[in-house]
Structure formats: C-alpha cells, structure tokens
Amino acid sequence: MAIRPALANDVQTVNTILKQAAHRIKLTGSLQWAHVLEDGELPMIHERINNGTVYLYMKEQEAAGVFYLYEEPTDWDVRLWGDARIDGVYYLHKVALADSYTGKNEGQKLLEAVKTYRPSQITEIRLDCMAEKAVLNNLYSRSGFSFHQMVRQVPNNVLMADFNLYTWRRPAEELS
C-alpha cells in the first residue's frame, strides 16, 4: 500500500471512487455527499488536484481509495475547529474507498498510511464526521484518532447535523 498525490489524469478515478462512496452513503438514507452523485464534486476535484491536496491510496497498481489532505484549513475547518492555520496541523477530508475494497479493513489501513505520510511535516491530523455515523466514528477511534469534541447543529449544505471532531498527534519521539 502506498499514498501518492493525484495527478490531472486521475480526475475520473477520484470522481468514480467518491461516487461509489456517495452511493453507499445514499443507501443508508443520508443526503450527505448527494452532490457527488451528480458530478457536483468534479470542479473541486480539478481545483484540489491542481493545488496538490488530493491523494490516492494505492494497492498494487490500483487506486483503492482517495482522500483530501489540507495544510491550510478550509472555511469549514475554521467553523468547526475555531482556529486558523497552525504549523504542522493538517485536515483530512473526503476519505473514501472504492467499492471493491470495502469490508476488508482497508479504511483502517488507509488511515494508518495517512498517519505515516510526510512524517517531517505533519504533527497533527484533524478530521470530522457526522456524529450519527457510528461506523465512521468507530473507524476513527480504532485507527488511533482521539475524540476531541462534538459541535452541535452545524449547517452543512442540505442539512443540519452534529459533527464529531477527531485528532491524531504524531508521537513526540517521532518529531525529533
């Protein structure tokens, strides 16, 4: 398994994986990521690939997953976390697995790979998820992310929801 930055020719791969995840989310009855199903994320994929913030989680030569990793917090991050940019703190978003990799513990492996990526630059990773998403909350806890707090009734496009915030901090002995 490896992580690599997504390239311009990976746009469709990224979009396909995100659509597969959005379809699985829709099957649970949630409207979250609904815009992805109608290619509403495509402009952001292009922009974020150009900015170097989209990554592929590779198994062999196949893209098994995708995620966005930002050093600069988005407006969403600032709304949830309440602070601007902090050196070494990165924000993890849109973590998704391809359909053929779900149910195989690959989500946890992907998160482990993210934690070992750029060890000299990343001291902390922050992420959020809807509080009602028990599967994701359990995944983040099992993967070494610590619950930070719940932010209640956050407007998120088509819905209002409670969001749980999680952090992972690089161990001190790895920072020197």
pLDDT digits 0-9 by tens, 77-87:
999 999 888 99
pLDDT recorded at residue 83: 84
For residues 15-48, one letter each, b for 16 or more C-beta atoms within 10 angstroms of the residue's C-beta and e for the rest, the string is bebbbbbbeebeeeebebbeebeeeebbebbeeb
Domains of the chain in sequence order: 2-175 (3.40.630.30)
Which residues of the chain fall below pLDDT 70? 157-158, 176
Query: What pLDDT shows up at residue 118?
Result: 83
Rounded Cα distance, 39 and 36, in Å: 5
What is the predicted pLDDT for the residue at 1? 78
Residue type, 38: E
Q: Assign 99 to helix, strand or coil.
A: helix
Please report the pLDDT score of residue 176 as a whole number: 61
Whole-number pLDDT of residue 158: 67
Both tokens of 43, joined, read 């402009």
DSSP assignment of 28-51: TT--TTHHHHTTTTHHHHHHHHHH
Instruction: Give residue 131's pLDDT.
Output: 94
